[in-house]
Structures are given as structure tokens and as C-alpha cells.
A and B are shown apart, each in its own frame.
Chain A
Amino acid sequence: MITRLFFIFFLPACLIGAAVIHTPQAPKPSQYHLSKVTAKGEVIHAWGGPWSCVCDSRSGLLWEVKSDSEDIHDGRWTYSRLLQNQGVANNGDCYFEAERCDTEDLIRHTNQEQLCGSKHWRLPTASELHTLVTTEVKPGSPSIETGYFPKTQRGDYWTSDGNLPLKGVYSYLKFGGAAVNFINGQTITIPYRNAAFTRLVTNRSSTCHIAPQ
């Protein structure tokens, strides 16, 4: 009788009691190769913010993150490609220069403010920039992880690969630079004078290193 009472009334009552007491855990982010870094260079929680850079522990590269705050990192600004006097100066659109903008303007300003604790910002190579391309994106989104890289435009982003022969309608301009297109992730060669987007990178930062495997 006692065992029956236990199984039929006491056990269910205990189960209900336990379910009431038990509070489900809030969801937690899982380990990931990208991490968010603040403007001061501190790594923050995967769901925290705001952040100014992203560290990729697969490549050890620290990437600039774009904003919509009309500062120098605004994702809408475009730049013509100028690198070590190669290319076209001041042919992109931004609000932070008296003249129009080129990639060197962004590099200079970003190093001056020591974004995320680094003063070695530069243009990425095409293969470096390509490591950010993902194909499994939401419909209409740029081919990048927008959870880490918000305000990315569906357009071309400059790389440091230059002096490449131009083809087709632009062949009369002879040489151009490589850009990665964040609609389909392809690398293309476009004239230096084009106004394209730019995301800077550094491999010399104190916060971002290749994670030991």
C-alpha cells in the first residue's frame, strides 16, 4: 500500500514540484572562431556590443567593423583605390575628408585613432578578404556573417592586390585592383578610380592571434 501510494501520488507530486523549482537556462552562445573586440581593444561576449573590430582566430586577423554612425567607419562610405601612390586619389564619397576619399584616407585616419588598439591597419589581400565570404546567408543579405559584420554592403570591397590587367570595356585603363564582391563572393578586377567599399585589416594587433588547434 505504501509503495503504491508513493508511486501514484507522491512521485507525480515530486515531479511537478521539481519542474516548478527548475528554471530553464537562458540560451548560451557556442564557441566560434570570430570574436567581437571593442574600440579600446577588449574582447567582449558573443552577444554583447557595440564592437568595432572582429578577430578571426582561424587566420589571426583583426578586421575593421563598419557602422552607421557617420564616423570614418560608416559602411556607406566609398573610396577610390590609392595605395603607395598606385591608383586614383579622392574619387569615393565620405563625409570625413574635406576632399573626396580614397583608401589611404581611411587607413591614415584609422591608424591615427588606433582603432582596437592597433596602428597597423592596411588593405587586406584578396585571399585574406575572401576568408570572410560565406554563402549560407539570409535572402538579400551580403555574403558575410552579418551578426559580426553589420552594415556590410552588397558591393565591391577593395583589396591590396593591384597592378592587374583590366579586361573588357575597361581595358583602355590598362591596370586596376582586385576587389571582392559581397553579393556572390567573387574576386574581380576593377579600375582604381571606382568608388568601392573598404574594410581594413591588421595582422599586428595585441588582441587577435591564431587560436592553437
Chain B
Amino acid sequence: MSDRSKSPVWILLHAALVIAVTCSLFSGLRIATLSKPAIASIEELLPQGEVHSVHFLSAILLSLVALAYLCSRVLRRFRARQQYGHKPLNYHRVVTWGGISLLAISLASGWLLFAGISKLPLTRTLHFCAALGLTAYIFLHAGVYLVQFGQNALRYILKPATTRRAQLILSCSFLIIFLLGGWLLLSRFTYYQLPVSTIPADAIIDIDGHANEPQWADAEVLQISTDGGANFYQGRTDIRLKALQNGEEIYFHISWQDPTESLAHLPLIKTDQGWEIQQQGFEKFDESRYYEDKFALLLSSHCDFAGAGTAHLGRSPLPDKPANWHGKGYHYSQSGQLHDLWHWKAVRTNKMYLADDNFIGAPDIVRAGIRRYTAGYQQDGKESGAYVMNWKWYSPNNITPKRLPSDTKVLAPFQNLDQKGKLDWTISWFDYQPYSAESDQVAPGTLMPSVLYTSNRFEGDRADVRAKGVWRDGYWTLELVRKLNTASPLDIPIEDGTCLWVSAFDHAQVAHTRHTRAIQLNLSNAL
């Protein structure tokens, strides 16, 4: 530590850096708990709630400090030539250079992640490793200073040499103005734009997943990279979106990479002890293996980070509400504002040519007798809809099926989970018979689908979104349509400027991919 005291500006920038790095680190590690169980094991030390905004606000602060630092380096280099020689290389200088390099890596990889460019899983790994490196740096730098000099070190970084108040206040105000300005820019002007082409009201678009109507060929494409999900290619998939509207309805054509068509949704297997559900994580509502593929669209009049500000991470982000089972977080809206969520499911809704119409609202009340609390994520009406699961009651061990086929031969096609080709993994309630232990002739080892269709439609509000997806050669293609304005209090009207987020699920229940910047719908040339 040099004997000279530090200038007010140095003190301010160093303090800002300490704050920015600490906030980035803690909020970033919380984000990392979503896909890294090792970090999840120290979840008690990490903040909960809507941490994305904190991460991005501190990212701006960090970037500002870095800019100021660069400027001062350039200035100093210019002056230093004339005044002092080089500082001697010692432990702290080496560590500081290490720290500065790590900060540079964090900044570069962080902005790439934010922009959604580059090979995201790789960038994410780099960003994460830099964060680990920075943790070590804090101990090697600040820790060692504190051990060496104790309170003097603190005094040194907090007490400016001169009492030039005006300079301090001026630079402080500059920092705050730039911080707020940066936040405004980042949160208002970084959206992807999706132009929605206008088509004549009498143009017919078949919701069949094929998008072979000529109107689709003319629509503009938006391609975005999403990552952070389970499965896929290292948790990443690229999504292509197109949208059309005819003044009455809005159509989406979406395709994304998925190496496998996963339809075996929590299949049942007969064992020597009876029937069991094939599962890996379902008990904690985080199945990531025996699940159908899904896709979700979040629509909102708000464009805040973290899915319109609805993603609240941590085991109990709501202190007076139950904790979640997987420790990852909840979706809910803090302002009470409603956000629309369309949830297409390859088995449970695709056959009905529908997407489940859900919403994210204020956290629900706690409902006794129900094991999973989902906070703001809820369904638009109807207790179950058109399908039920083929077990009387869920258990991680043995379950009793509701129904069995009258002829066990119909189960033959389902015996190989890895087989390619089209297979309908739903069974019809009416083709199967009520289960009884006596009539259960199924041989141990046999697999059976578990999605039982009881009718072929949802009813009411929950059936507002029609959708059909088709998987071919490593891609899902999905077509969806909904009225621009359904007039339902549980849907939001779609207008120019409405924000959209998309998430893909590869045989995973909740571990979906995500993107940081919202997609803004551009209906300016609406009818």
C-alpha cells in the first residue's frame, strides 16, 4: 500500500466497484443455481427474488467504473511518462492485474450473454468461471490487504486525501446520472423487434404446424438464441419466430432445434411390486427426463427483465408463502399486473390443437391439501381440462393406475422409449377399462402411457389459444393463433409494443431455456 492517500475520485470509483462486483457476484451466483447444483448447495448465502434486475443494474455500474478506469489509464499513461517511472511489481500488483483481467472477461462475456450473441453455453461457462475467479480475487486482494493492514486499509480506501468536497459531489452526481441513464437505455431500448406482417382478413392460415401458406414465406424472421435449459444441445436452442395478423387474430410460426421428439410423458412401468411412474425429479416438480417437450410464450404489456419481472429466484422468495420443492424459484407478478402465458405441450395439448392458456398474476393464496404451490403461475379456468394422468394418486413408489387396456397387446408399440417415429403417447379413457388388481394381467417390465384423454377439448377461457406442433429432422415447428383481444380478464390484449418472451422445454417440466432481452411486437402497420 503506498503512503500517499487516494484522491476522492479514486475512492468513489473503488467504492462503486466494490458495490458493483459484490452485487453482481451474489445475484449472478443465484442465477447460476438454476442449472448448477453445486452453487445451489450454498443457496442459503445467496439473495432471493427478482435478481436479474440487480445483476443488470450492477453490470451498468461496473461498466461505468471500467470506462472511467480506462480513461484515467490513458490520461495517466500520457502524464506518467513525464512524471513517474513504473511502479515496482509486487504481490498486490500481480493480484490486481489478475482481478482486472477477470473483470474484463466478466464484462465482455456478460454483455455477450445479454445481447444473446455468441455460443451461449460457452460464454456462460466463461462468465461463470470469471465469477469464481473474482471470488478468489476478492480474498487475495481485499482479504490480504485487510490481514496486512487491518482497519488502516479500510481507512485508506474510504478517506480521501483532500477534502475537495465539490469534486466528490460532482463525480458522484455524474456516476448516478450515468447509472440512471444507462438503466433507461438498457431497460427500454434493447428489445428485439418482431415485425408482425398484416394479411387480409380472408387469408386462411391452417394451424397444422406446417406453415406452408404463402403468407409465411413473406413474413420477416426473428432468430434468437436461448439457453440455460435442461437437455437440448448443452441447454441451448435457437428459436425462429414469425408473426402475422389480420386485424382480428395474431398468428405465430415458431421453430426451434430439438434433437429428440420426446413424447413419453411420465410413462408407467409394471414391476414385480406393481405399477410405478418412470421419473427423475418429478417428486420435486422438476422432472428432466421422462417428460414431454413443451414451449411457452409469455406476453405482457410490460417489458421488464426476467420475463416481465415475473421470475423470482430462490427457494422462498415470498417469505409468508410456502417454499418451492426444487429451490429454483417462482413466477409471479409483484405489481398484481397480469401477464399472459401460452403453454404448448407436445402430448397433453397438441392432440387437441391447443396450447394451455395460463397466466402469471399476483401470488395465489396458499391452498391446503395441495402439495405444489406455484405462486403467480396459474391456469385460466377449469380444474383439469381434457386429460387426466393415469394414476389414482401420485407416489414416488407404487401407484394404482386408473385404467388398463382390455387387451395388453395395445401396449406393444410403447416398449422402446428410444424408438424413433410417430407414436401417440396418449390413451383414450373410453378404450381402457377401470383398473382392478385381479384383472391386471400385464407382465412385469411393461411400459404404459399415462396421459388419459377424457374428451377432446379444454373448455372456456383455457381454450383461447389454438396451436399445433410437428417435429421433423431435429426441429419442432409450431403454429399458434389467438384473437388479438379475447376480452377475457385473464388474457392481455395484444397491441403494438406488447412484449413477448419464448422458452423451450426439452423433455423437462420446469427447466426451460431463456433469453434476456424482451421481444417487442411491431404491429405499427396494423389494419
- Interface of A toward B, CB cutoff 8 Å: 1, 4-5, 8-9, 12, 15-16, 18-20, 22, 24, 26-27, 29-30, 32, 34, 36, 46-50, 68-71, 136, 138-142, 145-148, 150-151
Contact partners of B462 in chain A: CB under 8 A: 140
Chain B, residue nearest A71 (CB)? B434
Question: Contacts A8-B147, A139-B379 given; 14 further ones with Cβ under 8 A?
Answer: A5-B147, A22-B44, A24-B327, A26-B325, A27-B371, A34-B369, A47-B369, A47-B370, A69-B434, A138-B364, A138-B379, A140-B382, A141-B382, A142-B383
Chain B, residue nearest A48 (CB)? B393
Within 8 A of A (CB), among B371-421: 371, 373, 378-383, 388, 392-394, 400, 402
Nearest Cβ on chain B to A12's Cβ, whole angstroms: 8
Nearest Cβ on chain B to A70's Cβ, whole angstroms: 6
Chain B, residue nearest A28 (CB)? B322
Contact partners of B42 in chain A: CB under 8 A: 16, 19-20
Nearest Cβ on chain A to B447's Cβ, whole angstroms: 23
In the assembled complex, B43 has its CB within 8 A of some CB on chain A: yes
Q: How large is the interface on B (under 10, 10 to 19, 20 to 34, 35 or more residues)?
A: 35 or more
Within 8 A of A (CB), among B119-150: 139, 143, 146-147, 150
Contact in complex: A148, B369 (CB < 8 Å): yes
Chain A, residue nearest B361 (CB)? A139
How far is A42 from B323 in the complex, measured between Cα atoms in Å? 29
Nearest Cβ on chain A to B71's Cβ, whole angstroms: 32
Chain B, residue nearest A29 (CB)? B368
Q: Can you list 12 A-B contacts with CB-CB less than 8 angstroms, sorted by A residue number?
A: A4-B150, A8-B139, A19-B42, A30-B366, A34-B368, A50-B392, A68-B402, A140-B380, A140-B381, A141-B383, A147-B369, A148-B368
Contact in complex: A8, B379 (CB < 8 Å): no
Within 8 A of A (CB), among B298-326: 315, 322-325
In the assembled complex, B367 has its CB within 8 A of some CB on chain A: yes
- Interface of B toward A, CB cutoff 8 Å: 41-45, 139, 143, 146-147, 150, 315, 322-325, 327, 364-371, 373, 378-383, 388, 392-394, 400, 402, 434, 454, 460-462, 490
Contact partners of B461 in chain A: CB under 8 A: 139-140
Name A4's contact: one of B147, B323, B378 (CB within 8 Å): B147
- The prevalent SS among residues of B at the interface is loop
How far is A152 from B378 in the complex, measured between Cα atoms in Å? 19
Nearest Cβ on chain B to A157's Cβ, whole angstroms: 16
Contact partners of A47 in chain B: CB under 8 A: 369-371
Chain A, residue nearest B42 (CB)? A19
Contact in complex: A136, B383 (CB < 8 Å): no
How far is A32 from B364 in the complex, measured between Cα atoms in Å? 18
Name B378's contact: one of A71, A139, A151 (CB within 8 Å): A139
Contact partners of A5 in chain B: CB under 8 A: 147
How far is A140 from B458 in the complex, measured between Cα atoms in Å? 12
Q: A5-B147, A8-B146, A139-B490 are in contact. Are A19 and B43 (CB under 8 A)?
A: yes
Contact in complex: A49, B381 (CB < 8 Å): no
Nearest Cβ on chain A to B427's Cβ, whole angstroms: 15
Contact in complex: A147, B370 (CB < 8 Å): yes
Nearest Cβ on chain B to A135's Cβ, whole angstroms: 11
Contact partners of B373 in chain A: CB under 8 A: 27
Contact partners of A139 in chain B: CB under 8 A: 378-381, 461, 490
Contact partners of A15 in chain B: CB under 8 A: 45
Contact in complex: B402, A147 (CB < 8 Å): no
Contact partners of B367 in chain A: CB under 8 A: 145-147
Contact partners of A147 in chain B: CB under 8 A: 367-370
Contact in complex: A36, B369 (CB < 8 Å): yes
Name A138's contact: one of B41, B139, B369, B378 (CB within 8 Å): B378
How far is A46 from B367 in the complex, measured between Cα atoms in Å? 11
Name B44's contact: one of A19, A140, A141, A142 (CB within 8 Å): A19
Chain B, residue nearest A140 (CB)? B381
Contact in complex: A9, B139 (CB < 8 Å): yes
Contact in complex: A1, B147 (CB < 8 Å): yes
Nearest Cβ on chain B to A18's Cβ, whole angstroms: 8
